[in-house]
């Protein structure tokens, strides 16, 4: 059956359901009334039908336990953190699931949340059976589509995705730009003292957002956002506003707002204009770089090359034109690196600083390791790649942070390619599935005392390794062929900054912190971030 036929069939089905709903529930009330009443009734019917479709679990999925619709949606739309939603709404349902699968609402009905190591492994490794769901990116009017397009490394499947990955892989497998990480870490530490209340009350997520944005801009294509030195400048604000707009849960659940109701939302319209301007900036950078590369061929040192330069080189080296990326594909990939690499790493770092603040003995143990490797003294030291590899305990801290607070709470959605069995449950063709990273990593049936921050569970031979045979229980970067391409980049960035901070400062929560009785998370359905995390730093020299 062609996809056109499938679409026609499903449209017919919807129309049939809609007309029978209309005849049964609406028509009896409007017979003999004015045409306005008919129109209002038709709109009411359409709306009620959509709500009905969203609320009711379809028959072919009823064998999988579902979260209660209204409590789940209330939690999402009220901005509650995923930790609260997981505890109140999801984990109780999951406790009744025999295989770690559960249902939750999404934009187009219901999707399967995958939250057990064995099913997780299948989902991540069998990319042919569970390709990325591309429907969300077909809405050409949405801000997300205009920002990252559909031809990018995260969204694509099959041979076209492979082409993108092959061009990008070499750029991420060379040695990491640790000098850049060290330089910007030092800049950020100096900036701590210059702003607001100085070291007494540092707005940690704000600094880290600026730090990781400057890094990804420079590392990706030599573009300096100047976020650390000139906070709130136009370039930074435009980027942040667009990203917030893309992730707005209301627009995520109701994409029709961008498609049909933009005229009624001047602020949203403004975002679309800002996005157009930013896309032009990125396009110009790519074109200029292509031309510079042609003139300077061979004269740029490898260590100084940014990701775009390395991707352009890989493009050039490919003999087959079908294996090269166009300017617009390159732009989409670079924007993806921004979106996927900036907030994720900055939140991972904020969380690590929080866990170290509330666990002073762990902070002290990490500091000892860092000083053993980098030496003590009154000067700022930038770690090398080799020294980063030696920081074993710091790595355990980073892993435990990413277990407790994985910045990407879900994988991107997959779609069952055929009717298929996953962990003993039938998944009908076309069903949307998500790896529920946060929930699995907090499930007491999988991790011992999951709410306790305990880096030692990642020591050789300890709890984490003992799970190897059961599937994938730790997946903050995903796994399999589509594992995060920027994982090592982010880990190196985290190790450089954390080790430099540990050497230079000790830190704790200020007395009045809202996080005193436990970490408070912002709401949202994609990236998790801490709310109002301020820290008090004390210099060691
Ligand atoms: C703590 C930091 C990060 C976290 C937690 C994270 C998380 C993830 C996860 C969970 C996936 C898999 C998504 C899926 O299978 O659906 C992923 C994929 C990806 N990430 Fe990251 N990421 C981080 C940093 C970065 C950085 C620094 C970059 C780039 C500079 C990056 C670029 C990508 C790309 C391009 C993919 C898609 C790979 C593909 O499909 O082939 N990420 N990331």
DSSP secondary structure of 350-398: HHHHHHHHH-HHHHHHHHHHHHHHH--SSS--PPPHHHHHH-HHHHHHH
- For ligand 1, atom 18, the nearest C-alpha belongs to 484
Cα–Cα distance, 360 to 533 (Å, whole number): 17
Q: Output the CA 229–ligand 1 centroid distance in Å.
A: 27
Least confident of 134-138, 306-310, 494-498: 134-138
Which atom, in ligand 1's list, is nearest to the CA of 437? 10
Residue where a domain stops, chosen among 9, 32, 56: 56
Query: What is residue 32's predicted lDDT score, i.e. its pLDDT?
Result: 64
What band does 129 get if pLDDT is binned at 50, 70 and 90?
Answer: very high
Whole-number pLDDT of residue 316: 83
| 175-186 tens-digit pLDDT | 789 999 999 999
pLDDT at 57: 93
Cα(528) to centroid of ligand 1, in Å?
14
Bridge pairing between strands 101-106 and 109-114: antiparallel
- Among 26-30, 179-183, 230-234, 346-350, the least confident range: 26-30
DSSP code for 152: S
Residues 87 and 187 in one domain: yes
Do 536 and 204 form a contact (C-beta atoms < 8 A)? no
- Which pLDDT does position 107 carry in this prediction? 73
> 403 and 444 share a domain?
yes
- Spatial separation of the C-alpha atoms in residues 119 and 482, rounded to whole Å: 16
Give the mean model confidence (pLDDT) for residues 366-386. 96
21 or 318: which carries more pLDDT confidence? 318
Same domain, 380 and 251: yes
Binding-site annotation: residue ranges for heme = 484
Predicted confidence band at 524 (pLDDT cuts at 50, 70, 90)? confident
pLDDT (average), residues 286-304 = 74
102 phi and psi angles, rounded to 5 deg: -150, 165
Kindly indicate whether the ipTM for this predicted assembly is greater than 0.85, answering yes or no.
Answer: yes
Confidence class for position 43, pLDDT limits 50, 70, 90: low
Count of other CB atoms within 10 angstroms of residue 128: 11
Binding site, by residue number, is 484
- 494 Cα–ligand 1 center, Å: 15
Query: Could you tell me the pLDDT band of residue 12, with boundaries at 50, 70 and 90?
Result: very low
Q: Is the pLDDT of residue 4 over 50?
A: no
- Using DSSP, state whether 457 is helix, strand or coil: helix
Domain boundaries, position 5: 1-56
- Residue 220 CA: nearest ligand 1 atom is 30
- The structural domain count of the chain equals 2
Q: Worst-scoring range by mean pLDDT, 86-100, 303-317, 366-380, 511-525?
A: 303-317
Worst-scoring range by mean pLDDT, 237-241, 440-444, 526-530? Answer: 237-241
Residue 99 and residue 186 share a domain = yes
**Whether the Cβ atoms of residue 282 and residue 334 lie closer than 8 Å to each other:** yes
Is 133 a residue whose pLDDT tops 70?
yes
Nearest-atom number in ligand 1 for the CA of 412 is 16
How large is the greatest C-alpha to C-alpha distance in the chain, in angstroms? 89
Distance from C-alpha of 440 to C-alpha of 399, rounded to nearest angstrom: 15
Residues 445 and 306 in one domain: yes
Task: Please check whether residues 339 and 243 belong to one and the same domain.
Answer: yes
Q: Are residues 265 and 409 in the same domain?
A: yes
Question: Distance between CA 485 and CA 172 in Å, rounded?
Answer: 7
The answer to whether 101 and 116 have CB atoms below 8 angstroms apart is yes
- What share of the chain in percent tops pLDDT 70? 90
5 and 86 inside one domain: no
Q: Inform me whether the pLDDT recorded for 523 exceeds 50.
A: yes
Residue 106: its H or E element: strand 101-106
77 and 30 within one domain: no
* Residues 452-497: tens digit of each pLDDT: 999 999 999 999 999 988 899 999 999 999 999 999 999 999 999 9
**Cross-strand partners of 182:** none
Of the residues 32, 56, 80, which one is the last residue of a structural domain? 56
Which one of 340, 345, 404, 526 would you pick to mutate in the ligand 1 pocket, going by the greatest count of ligand atoms within 8 A of its CB? 340
52 CA to centre of ligand 1 in angstroms: 35
Indicate which atom in ligand 1 lies nearest the CA of residue 219. 30
Q: What's the average model confidence in pLDDT over 186-205? A: 93
- Could you tell me which residue, 415 or 327, shows the higher pLDDT? 415
**Tokens 């080790």 found at:** 499
Percent of the chain with pLDDT over 90: 60
Residue 109: its H or E element: strand 109-114
How far apart (Å, rounded) are the C-alpha atoms in residues 204 and 533? Answer: 6
Contacts of 398 (CB under 8 A, 6+ apart): 348, 352, 491, 494, 495, 498
CA–centroid distance, residue 277 to ligand 1 (Å): 26
Separation of alpha carbons 409 and 421, rounded Å: 24
Instruction: Kindly state whether residues 200 and 254 are assigned to the same domain.
Output: yes
CATH value at residue 88: 1.10.630.10
Indicate if the pLDDT at residue 328 is higher than 90.
no
- Claim to verify: residue 23 and residue 91 sit in the same structural domain: no
Of the two residues 39 and 447, the one the predictor is more confident about is: 447
CA end-to-end span of the chain, whole Å? Answer: 71
Locate the ligand 1 atom nearest the alpha carbon of residue 483 and give its number: 12
Count the neighbouring beta carbons within 10 Å of the beta carbon of residue 25.
Answer: 15
Closest CA relative to residue 24, chosen from 32, 12, 16: 16
- pLDDT of res. 16: 52
Q: Are residues 233 and 339 in the same domain?
A: yes
The pLDDT assigned to 2 comes to: 33
Q: Tell me the CA–centroid distance for residue 341 and ligand 1, in Å.
A: 7
Burial tier of 358 (Cβ tally within 10 Å: 0-12, 13-18, 19+): middle
Buried b (16+ CB within 10 A) or exposed e, 247-264: bbbebbbebebbeeeeee
Q: Which residues line ligand 1 (CB under 6 A)?
A: 153-154, 165, 336-337, 340-341, 344-345, 348, 407-408, 411-412, 476-478, 482, 484-486, 489-490
Which residue, judged by its Cα, is nearest atom 7 of ligand 1?
477
pTM above 0.90, yes or no: no
Look at residue 3 in the predicted model and tell me its pLDDT: 35
Are 353 and 204 in contact, with CB atoms under 8 Å apart? Answer: yes
pLDDT at residue 427 in the model: 97
Q: Which residue has the higher pLDDT, 55 or 182?
A: 182
Q: How far is the CA of 282 from the centre of ligand 1 (A)?
A: 21
- What pLDDT score was predicted for residue 283? 86
Q: Residue 373 pLDDT > 90, yes or no?
A: yes
């Amino acid at each position: 059956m062609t996809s056109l036929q499938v679409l026609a069939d499903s449209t017919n089905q919807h129309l049939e359901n809609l007309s029978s709903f209309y005849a049964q529930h609406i028509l009896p009330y409007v017979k003999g009334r004015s045409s306005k009443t008919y129109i209002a009734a038709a709109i009411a019917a359409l709306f009620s039908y959509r709500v009905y479709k969203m609320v009711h679990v379809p028959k072919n999925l009823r064998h999988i336990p579902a979260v209660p619709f209204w409590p789940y949606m209330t939690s999402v739309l009220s901005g509650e953190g995923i930790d609260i939603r997981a505890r109140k709404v999801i984990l109780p349902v999951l406790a009744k699931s025999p295989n770690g699968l559960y249902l939750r609402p999404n934009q187009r009905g219901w999707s399967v949340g995958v939250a057990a190591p064995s099913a997780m492994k299948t989902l991540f490794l069998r990319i042919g059976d569970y390709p990325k769901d591309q429907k969300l990116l077909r809405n050409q009017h949405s801000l997300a589509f205009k920002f990252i397009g559909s031809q990018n490394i995260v969204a694509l499947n099959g041979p076209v995705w492979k082409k993108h990955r092959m061009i990008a892989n070499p750029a991420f497998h060379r040695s990491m730009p640790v000098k850049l990480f060290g330089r910007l870490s030092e800049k950020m530490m100096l900036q701590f003292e210059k702003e607001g209340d100085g070291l007494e009350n540092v707005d940690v997520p704000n600094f880290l957002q600026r730090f990781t944005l400057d890094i990804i801009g420079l590392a990706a294509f030599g573009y300096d956002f100047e976020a650390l030195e000139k906070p709130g400048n136009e370039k930074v604000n435009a980027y942040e506003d667009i990203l917030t707009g893309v992730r707005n849960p209301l627009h995520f659940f109701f994409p029709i707002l961008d498609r049909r109701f933009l005229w009624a939302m001047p602020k949203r319209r403004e975002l679309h204009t800002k996005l157009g301007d930013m896309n032009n900036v990125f396009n110009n950078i790519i074109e200029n770089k292509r031309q510079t590369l042609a003139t300077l061929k061979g004269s740029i040192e490898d260590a100084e090359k940014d990701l775009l330069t390395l991707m352009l080189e890989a493009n050039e080296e490919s003999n087959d034109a079908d294996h090269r990326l166009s300017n617009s594909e390159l732009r989409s990939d670079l924007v993806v690196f921004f979106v996927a690499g900036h907030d994720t790493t900055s939140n991972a770092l904020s969380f690590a600083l929080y866990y170290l603040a509330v666990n002073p003995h762990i902070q002290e143990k990490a500091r000892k390791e860092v000083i053993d490797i980098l030496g003590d003294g009154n000067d700022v030291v930038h770690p090398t790649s080799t020294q980063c590899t030696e920081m074993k305990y710091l790595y355990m801290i980073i892993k435990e942070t990413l277990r407790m607070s994985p910045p990407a709470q879900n994988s991107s959605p997959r779609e069952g390619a055929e009717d298929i069995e996953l962990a003993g449950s039938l998944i009908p063709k076309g069903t949307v599935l998500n790896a529920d990273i946060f929930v699995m990593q907090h499930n007491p049936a999988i991790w011992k005392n999951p709410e306790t921050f305990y880096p030692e569970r990642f020591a050789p031979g300890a709890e984490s390794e003992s799970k190897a045979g059961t599937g994938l229980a730790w997946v903050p970067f995903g796994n399999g062929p589509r594992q995060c391409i920027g994982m090592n980049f982010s880990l190196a960035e985290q190790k450089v900054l954390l080790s430099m901070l540990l050497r230079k400062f000790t830190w704790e929560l200020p007395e009045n912190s809202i996080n005193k009785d436990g970490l408070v998370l912002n709401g949202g359905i994609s990236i998790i971030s801490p709310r109002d995390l301020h820290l008090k730093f004390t210099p060691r020299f």
